[in-house]
Chains A and B, each alone.
Chain A
């Protein structure tokens, strides 16, 4: 298993190389004058400068392959370039925004998986009964409603009307506390930091801001996981070994948990991989809707302003995340199903 993981990790650079080639190819449609903007930190630098000189200075008049090699040299040194839209270096921007996205994703993934599997189990146990039909409607609505629409509805109801869950990451007063010297930012994830600092008021404020975006991210995937779990459970329920388990005299609860659900989790783990991909896409949209300052919002603003260094940087970041998630899913698969051998 360990050698399998190591071998899979060796593929990581290859996949990322492919990602950079693709994005760089897309960038080749931009003019050198558009590209040079990435090197200009402030309009001051343009004073008394010929734009063509700048283009020449940064090698942007050279053929695309040469530019690619130059860019890669910088990347390998950990320098992804300067982002105009974020007004800082891309690496720095990614690092400051990452905790927010991690916080959002963690808070979404856990309820998504637990809730989806639970709802699917309920639906399968009540096959063709009212509860099954209710979860079916719930799933159809969740799967049909685009997340930006659902997010706006959430904002409208829970912020506009009720005032419960405001957008952003923190209220202004809490932001001030965090930026003051007394509050130590251990991880950058406000929920964890506030617990470590024993600031329960900040914790409550952070959670309040997380609920609406988390629910928005989660709803679509609840719908998906619930349906997959349900059909997979129904499939396993008709298997002979479930009858065998009953014949052994096991209590129904144990038949369900030990035999039915364990076996039903195998297809669920498979779709969980694509679910994480979808969550990444969802993060971009949800962070934009809720003005939640994470990597997703960073990507969205970068794309709107043609901030190509930032786009390259975030693409690399999401690409790496993707490869690692797929690896985790494959390993999980082997844990769930003894017939799968990782070699």
Chain B
């Protein structure tokens, strides 16, 4: 097992709900409510969950693009552990970068591609313009674009090409960790595959570590080494990708997996349809957050909040009181290579 690159403990992000003339705080939306995880050097950790579960907020707060409310984020650089906070983040942006979801809105429409990609280099002290543009040229080639694209503006590119520009920009500073915030969900399926393969190639070439945020389970299965499942601001299950897909330990994961469409028309799908809606993160249910929708909920689930703990062997984590007794159905692991 390789060493740990990123260590996150107790990460929380609460958004205040304000009301009235003087904007009194009347409540908190707990978008991220106590998340712990580690990312190992060179691996891809997939972070999945439905809309509004806080997965993007986790990614953004790691980089302090939104200010986390609480928690401890540490990253292992140059053989020392560095805590990520408002002071250190300026330098740590060299190590931690992000690829955004929407390639159409995340590039400044008034900048040429070479300036978009070169700007982080300048911000981090590369003064020589020619040096910067040489580096941009290398980066564009690495992501499958060419030097003739350098002087163009973002609107002259297709979605896939724009996402490649975003990737080149993220890699400009040679980071060790890249947060991929749903990098392919805005793209056509055919382009998704190209970009995913590019991300894998770049990972091998530059020794990158990915935190891959997505809601598309087949994408996550394809690219991840390990997967963490989030529900209502918390991680409910985390395991190696094959374990998680084959033998889920949390009822929510089971329901998610059952929703993956099977391309074989002969198989009869056993979809688990969850009752009700996702509860409001401003007013989460007592006990286990999932219990009102859980088909296996017992008395204890209403009262006690389950902790994320190792179940069995092989580092399979789950936050469910009944994880050991339930026999949940997974999906057959597709050949991901």
Stretch at the interface among B7-15, B95-103, B277-285, B318-326: B95-103
Is B105 among interface residues, defined by CB-CB distance under 8 A? yes
Stretch at the interface among A30-38, A63-71, A244-252, A307-315: A244-252
Cβ distance A168 to chain B, nearest Cβ, rounded Å: 46
Task: Pick from A244, A251, A262: contact of B169, CB below 8 A.
Answer: A244
Which residues from 158 to 203 on chain A have a C-beta closer than 8 Å to any C-beta of chain B? Answer: none
Is A92 among interface residues, defined by CB-CB distance under 8 A? no
The residues of B that contact A114 with a CB separation of less than 8 Å are none
Chain B window 99-139, contacts with chain A (Cβ cutoff 8 Å), 1 for yes, 0 for no: 01010011111100000000110011000000000000000
Interface residues on B, range: 20 to 34
Which residues from 1 to 49 on chain A have a C-beta closer than 8 Å to any C-beta of chain B? Answer: none
Is B303 among interface residues, defined by CB-CB distance under 8 A? no
> Whole-angstrom distance between the alpha carbons of A240 and B56 in the complex?
13
By the criterion CB–CB under 8 Å, are B110 and A338 in contact? yes
By the criterion CB–CB under 8 Å, are A240 and B106 in contact? yes
By the criterion CB–CB under 8 Å, are B110 and A262 in contact? yes
By the criterion CB–CB under 8 Å, are B100 and A337 in contact? no
By the criterion CB–CB under 8 Å, are B119 and A245 in contact? yes
Task: Pick from A249, A251, A259, A336: contact of B108, CB below 8 A.
Answer: A259
By the criterion CB–CB under 8 Å, are B109 and A339 in contact? yes
With A251-B123, A254-B123, A339-B153 in contact, do A246 and B65 touch (Cβ < 8 Å)?
Answer: yes
> Whole-angstrom distance between the alpha carbons of A339 and B169 in the complex?
21
> Whole-angstrom distance between the alpha carbons of A240 and B215 in the complex?
20
Is A317 among interface residues, defined by CB-CB distance under 8 A? no
Cβ distance A20 to chain B, nearest Cβ, rounded Å: 41
By the criterion CB–CB under 8 Å, are B98 and A247 in contact? yes
The residues of A that contact B102 with a CB separation of less than 8 Å are 240
> Whole-angstrom distance between the alpha carbons of A135 and B269 in the complex?
61
Is A73 among interface residues, defined by CB-CB distance under 8 A? no
Is B90 among interface residues, defined by CB-CB distance under 8 A? yes
The residues of A that contact B120 with a CB separation of less than 8 Å are 248-250
The residues of A that contact B170 with a CB separation of less than 8 Å are 247
> Whole-angstrom distance between the alpha carbons of A249 and B60 in the complex?
14
The residues of B that contact A241 with a CB separation of less than 8 Å are 105-109
A254 closest partner in B (C-beta): B123
Question: Which of the listed residues B63, B102, B108 has the most CB atoms from chain A within 10 Å of its own CB?
Answer: B108
By the criterion CB–CB under 8 Å, are A248 and B108 in contact? no
Task: Pick from A250, A262, A338, A339: contact of B123, CB below 8 A.
Answer: A250
The residues of B that contact A248 with a CB separation of less than 8 Å are 93, 119-120, 123, 169
> Whole-angstrom distance between the alpha carbons of A274 and B121 in the complex?
41
The residues of B that contact A263 with a CB separation of less than 8 Å are 108-110
Is B155 among interface residues, defined by CB-CB distance under 8 A? yes
Cβ distance B121 to chain A, nearest Cβ, rounded Å: 9
The residues of B that contact A262 with a CB separation of less than 8 Å are 110
> Whole-angstrom distance between the alpha carbons of A333 and B105 in the complex?
20
With A248-B123, A248-B169, A249-B120 in contact, do A239 and B110 touch (Cβ < 8 Å)?
Answer: no
Task: Pick from A240, A251, A336: contact of B100, CB below 8 A.
Answer: A240
> Whole-angstrom distance between the alpha carbons of A240 and B97 in the complex?
15
The residues of B that contact A339 with a CB separation of less than 8 Å are 109, 153, 155
Residues of B within 8 A of A (CB): 60, 63, 65, 90, 93-94, 97-98, 100, 102, 105-110, 119-120, 123-124, 153, 155, 166, 169-170, 173
Known: A241-B108, A262-B110. 10 other contacts (CB 8 A): A240-B105, A240-B106, A244-B100, A248-B119, A248-B120, A248-B123, A249-B124, A250-B119, A251-B123, A336-B110
18 A-B pairs with CB atoms under 8 Å apart are A241-B107, A241-B108, A243-B100, A244-B107, A244-B108, A244-B169, A246-B65, A248-B120, A249-B93, A249-B120, A249-B173, A250-B120, A250-B123, A254-B123, A263-B108, A338-B110, A339-B153, A339-B155
The 5 A-B residue pairs whose C-beta atoms are closest, nearest first, are: A249-B93, A248-B120, A240-B106, A240-B105, A241-B108
Residues of A within 8 A of B (CB): 239-241, 243-251, 254, 259, 262-263, 336-339
